[in-house]
Structure 1
């Protein structure tokens, strides 16, 4: 039985049953991308009727301190927000609350195991922090409080999408509780195994990197000084991102068949193995938190659109975490989508969706290409690649201007709307 979250009751106080309402936008998935899209839509146009479908149980207001610990989208994982994402969140009046729990990245040290030297990217090259690291559960609490203020948002919990009926002027979403809801546009924000993408027959491809990421928070005996580390090894990169309370968020990429065995080691055994792989650049590893495993794949869509349907976030693209670009790309997507919807006379129309994709196609291709190239160049030890890549790292140290294109791409500060294509 679907449960309606309390802050959004007014929409159902009308004489119309839920099935009779035609929403402007139905968002399938109430994780980071879905919740942020709902907020962005209603910030830009509070009159929009938005329905948010969440397959998870309702999170009670009385347990806000714990509510996101069990929601799969707002767990202890961390995200690295680049400068472009900070700009977007500031425009949504979210950044002030998020920044209180975020840690800046002021320097990045890159090294390759088995080879001398490396590269250091410093603030002098970019003029500002490279980005900020924050735990998802912190962002989730800020989003929950902010969304509660919008009476035109309806949230249904514990429901799953079972079918889509695409009609000329609207789209019908069939739910597993027997209800059918209608909207001008359906947005799939339901992750890499997206039901929306499947039902709308949106073409996608999946490349398996044959690696898994072990994710946890760790603490070293040295003060991290807002330094992030990227250490490339034969089995994949190891990333340490600075967190509050002198912690690091660890992304430890290992061969898929070894991931469970490594994650299940005792804390002392796990830290000893990590120390051997990573070295002592960050100091001595002293503590580790709960460890989770995530398979590493590249999922991309040819075009994340269908009739009155669009996919965003991991439903449209799921990237390797090596460059920390997946969420930032998704945030740019949803911001542009919300802006175009807010200005549209025909939400969900072919022309509206086509405008959206014209804005986003170039950014999609360049960000995905950059991330995938980094993975394939640095996640192997073939001599034909090992020697040139280490020469490249040393060259970036000697000639800092060589790293400028990488820094500019990673900052995410460029024309989101690709206005040349729209003119």
Structure 2
């Protein structure tokens, strides 16, 4: 590598470190708002090189799809998406269940299922259309130095090193965020001692655009509707059982999933390639620092129960873009404090919900069974609770960014 002895320095506008799903979405939203930005990503700008553009099937809340539509991403993704028109939530061995139907709440879909890799392709296509964005990929953040009016970042790439000055540094670099560590922001960690397996399967009966989430002692299991009568399976197991589950042949794996999920969709078959993910919760103690902000998994990594991770991170990105677009100084202290305050109810509520559900709904305590069943029945049959559950499930919580409130065409 040819590294200049005196790296050139330039002003980037907003500097975003991390080009995964949330970082790329933020870059696009800023560009759409007319804000100059630089996006730094360690992976090459290809879907097969970006770790977050993987084999997961994402459950995109309605608010999320509204936001992706608003920033011009959804037109590149909608062909591969499958609408979720019904959601069924239950607990293995207990009588309660909750059902949410799109028609009952006056919408055509509660959300959509989309493979993460297809969303990644859509983001890359939209990034190619940006006119105010500088993309550095593959490139690495090698160092940060505070300045009076922002930060100076040293970026290493195959072309050498360069220094970039920015009035606002954004850490969108994932759960083990280098930016978060460099800012001195602590993070609370919780290991759930669980591993998530994702793959596709084919049920005997048509899924009818219904998503299923079922809690059990061993963790949640979910089925998400996909095209061509396929479903995305999300199976959680105890961490100590993960190696054994990974070693199962297809027939034994399907037997395990069938036992955990039940027979509501008939016999399951034709499992695709399985991908394991260790599950942990990581929550930054602060969202902002002087002229710096964390978004997405760098700010909070939540349990995948309820499929809230990317949905929450996109609301981070769209809220930040909205506030920066109306500001003379994108890194001003009062703007960042207002951003943190605005995001707090949504962030804290979503983290509490996901953590509480996995702690309560999956605890193997028989004394909790009647209470859990009654709670599910209440959510199913008490209209105010049903409306609140549906609204939150569709991603409308707290003070959402205006982009997610726009109607789909």
Superposition TM-score, scaled by structure 1 size: 0.88
Contact 2:74 2:122 in 1 (8 A): no
1:21 pairs with one of 3, 6, 10: 10
SS at match of 1:100: helix
Counting only pairs closer than 5 Å after superposition, residues 396-415 of structure 1 correspond to structure 2 as: 396-399=379-382, 401-413=384-396, 415=399
1:383, distance to aligned residue in structure 2 (A): 2.1
Aligned to 1:416: 400
Task: Establish whether residue 34 from structure 1 lines up as the match of residue 17 from structure 2.
Answer: no
Deviates more, 1:122-131 or 1:258-267: 122-131
1:108, distance to aligned residue in structure 2 (A): 1.3
Contact 1:69 1:76 in 2 (8 A): no
Aligned to 1:161: 141
- Closer/same/farther in 2, CA of residues 289 and 69 from structure 1, 3 Å limit: farther
SS at match of 1:119: strand
1:400, distance to aligned residue in structure 2 (A): 5.0
Deviates more, 1:226-235 or 1:147-156: 147-156
Contact 2:41 2:136 in 1 (8 A): yes
Counting only pairs closer than 5 Å after superposition, residues 167-246 of structure 1 correspond to structure 2 as: 167-176=147-156, 178-246=161-229
1:54 pairs with one of 13, 21, 41: 41
Whole-Å separation in 2 of the counterparts to 1:305 and 1:328:
20
Deviates more, 1:254-263 or 1:32-41: 254-263
Whole-Å separation in 2 of the counterparts to 1:198 and 1:342:
27
- Structure 1 runs of 4+ aligned residues shifted over 6 Å read none
1:286, distance to aligned residue in structure 2 (A): 0.8
Aligned to 1:136: 116
For these two proteins, the number of residue pairs brought into alignment is: 394
Aligned to 2:80: 101
Aligned to 1:289: 272
Contact 1:19 1:182 in 2 (8 A): no
- Closer/same/farther in 2, CA of residues 400 and 219 from structure 1, 3 Å limit: farther
Contact 2:315 2:401 in 1 (8 A): no
Whole-Å separation in 1 of the counterparts to 2:7 and 2:145:
17
Cα-Cα RMSD: 2.0
CA-to-partner distance for each residue in 1:368-420, whole Å, 9 max, x for gaps?
112211111111121232221012223444445433222121222353269xx
2:374 pairs with one of 391, 401, 404: 391
Whole-Å separation in 2 of the counterparts to 1:402 and 1:307:
40
- Closer/same/farther in 2, CA of residues 97 and 156 from structure 1, 3 Å limit: closer
1:358, distance to aligned residue in structure 2 (A): 2.1
Task: Establish whether residue 359 from structure 1 lines up as the match of residue 339 from structure 2.
Answer: no
Task: Establish whether residue 333 from structure 1 lines up as the match of residue 313 from structure 2.
Answer: no
Question: 5+ unaligned residues in a row in structure 2: which ranges?
Answer: 403-409
CA-to-partner distance for each residue in 1:281-318, whole Å, 9 max, x for gaps?
12211111111111111211222111111110000011
SS at match of 1:234: coil
1:188, distance to aligned residue in structure 2 (A): 0.8
Whole-Å separation in 1 of the counterparts to 2:153 and 2:90:
49
Whole-Å separation in 1 of the counterparts to 2:130 and 2:8:
21
SS at match of 2:80: coil
CA-to-partner distance for each residue in 1:310-342, whole Å, 9 max, x for gaps?
110000011111111121111111101011112
CA-to-partner distance for each residue in 1:111-131, whole Å, 9 max, x for gaps?
211224523222244222211
Whole-Å separation in 2 of the counterparts to 1:172 and 1:136:
33
Aligned to 2:262: 279
Superposition TM-score, scaled by structure 2 size: 0.91
Whole-Å separation in 1 of the counterparts to 2:156 and 2:223:
41
Contact 1:125 1:404 in 2 (8 A): no
Contact 1:164 1:200 in 2 (8 A): no
SS at match of 2:202: strand
Whole-Å separation in 2 of the counterparts to 1:108 and 1:412:
14
Contact 1:111 1:232 in 2 (8 A): yes
SS at match of 1:347: coil
